[in-house]
């Protein structure tokens, strides 16, 4: 599913025009993004949580050339799936 399919499904589900569902979706995604940009975590019960991990600079290698390079400090978001979703996804496999 992509973003426009999500927006269509949301519009159907809560019975609002597409434009409105689009704007709601963007509000939610923008809130999530701004929270992570501020280095804060996200905790959505039943769905999952996000944390931002900070990496300091380290020496790595270009995997193609094998050349040593200095990797600059960076931040990356990590997602941990919530209990309900983990169980729902896994039980459907059986």
Partner 1 sequence: MTLTKADLIRKVHATHLNLAREEARNAVEAFLDILKSSLEDGNDILLSGFGKFNVRDKAARRGRNPQTGEELVLEPRRVVTFKPSGKLRERLNEK
Q: How far is the CB of 70 from partner 1 (least distance, A)?
A: 16
Footprint of partner 1 on this chain (CB under 8 A)?
A: 1-3, 6, 9-10, 13-14, 16, 20, 23-25, 27-29, 31-33, 35-37, 40-48, 50, 52, 74-79, 81, 84-86, 88-90, 92-93
* Nearest approach, Cβ of residue 26 and partner 1 (Å): 9
The least distance separating partner 1 from the CB of residue 8, rounded to whole angstroms, comes to 10
* Longest distance between any two alpha carbons in the chain, whole Å: 56
Question: What whole-number distance in Å separates Cα of residue 73 and Cα of residue 58?
Answer: 8
Q: Running DSSP on this structure, what letter comes out for residue 72?
A: P
Alpha carbons 72 and 56: distance in angstroms, whole number: 7
């Amino acid at each position: 599913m992509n973003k426009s399919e999500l927006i269509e499904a949301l519009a159907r589900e809560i019975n609002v025009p597409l434009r409105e569902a689009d704007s709601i979706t963007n509000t939610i995604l923008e809130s999530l993004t701004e929270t992570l940009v501020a280095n804060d975590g996200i905790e959505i019960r039943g769905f999952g949580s996000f944390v931002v991990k900070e990496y300091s600079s380290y020496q790595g290698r270009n995997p193609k050339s094998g050349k040593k390079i200095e990797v600059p400090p960076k931040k990356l978001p990590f997602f941990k799936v919530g209990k309900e979703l983990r169980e729902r996804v896994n039980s459907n496999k059986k």
